[in-house]
Amino acid sequence: MAKKRKSKRPTEEVNSSSMADIAFLLLIFFLVTTTIVNEKGVRFVLPKKVENLTEDLKIPERNMLKVLLNSSNKMLVGGQVVSIERLKGKTKAFLSNRGKIKTLSDSPEKAIVSFKADRGSDFKTYLMVLDELKSSYHELRADYLNITNGEYLKLDPMDAEENALLKQAKAEFPATLSEAEPNDFKQ
């Protein structure tokens, strides 16, 4: 055996070059096994279940905007055929009328938007209409708070300050978007 000389001794370091490979393997494993789950969407609250519909609610005609969607994806708003592009304008005019025009609502609190879709209409159109109706409410609320629609959507109900704003806007424009009971008809 040869004598060891101090100057030739290798550096005392743990070889960490394979560490990167291990980390890569872990990374690839996670990339393969997980998917970025899209859980964002359009939120909607269903109306309460009514046990007996014998009681007729007396709602004046002017405070009710009826939106009907048929199986060929055509829309009837307040008795008129309306295209999807004009729905938002119509709804906003109806909601923010405050008694000015005779045929539209008395006040935002009393105004009710009733949406009824046929079983044969497709989900894409259904959601588009729902989205437009929601955006009418959201835009009116956002205008009331002097913020943009995008900012309104980001308001966090967990944050005390932002929740106060939300409550304020909701008090001004309560979302009385209701979905009418479906008829028991088959196409």
List residues binding other proteins (CB under 8 A). 16-17, 19-20, 22-24, 26-27, 30-31, 33-49, 71, 117, 119-124, 126-128, 130-131, 134-135, 138, 153, 157-158, 179, 182, 187
72: helix, coil or strand? Answer: coil
Q: How far is the CB of 108 from other proteins (least distance, A)?
A: 18
Count CA atoms within 13 Å of residue 117 on its CB side.
Answer: 16
Locate 164 and state its tokens.
């106060």
Q: How far is the CB of 171 from other proteins (least distance, A)?
A: 19
| Closer residue to other proteins in complex, CB, 99/120 | 120
Q: Report how far apart, in Å, the C-alpha atoms of 139 and of each of 91, 97, 136, 148 are.
A: 11, 15, 5, 8
Q: How far is the CB of 34 from other proteins (least distance, A)?
A: 4
77: helix, coil or strand? Answer: strand
| Closest CA relative to residue 177, chosen from 80, 69, 84, 65 | 65
| Closer residue to other proteins in complex, CB, 54/183 | 183
Element (DSSP H or E) covering residue 75:
strand 75-77
| Closer residue to other proteins in complex, CB, 60/150 | 150
At 85, phi and psi to the nearest 5? -65, -30
| Closer residue to other proteins in complex, CB, 3/124 | 124
In which residue are the tokens 């009328």 written? 97
Q: How far is the CB of 115 from other proteins (least distance, A)?
A: 12
Q: How far is the CB of 8 from other proteins (least distance, A)?
A: 14
| Closer residue to other proteins in complex, CB, 1/32 | 32
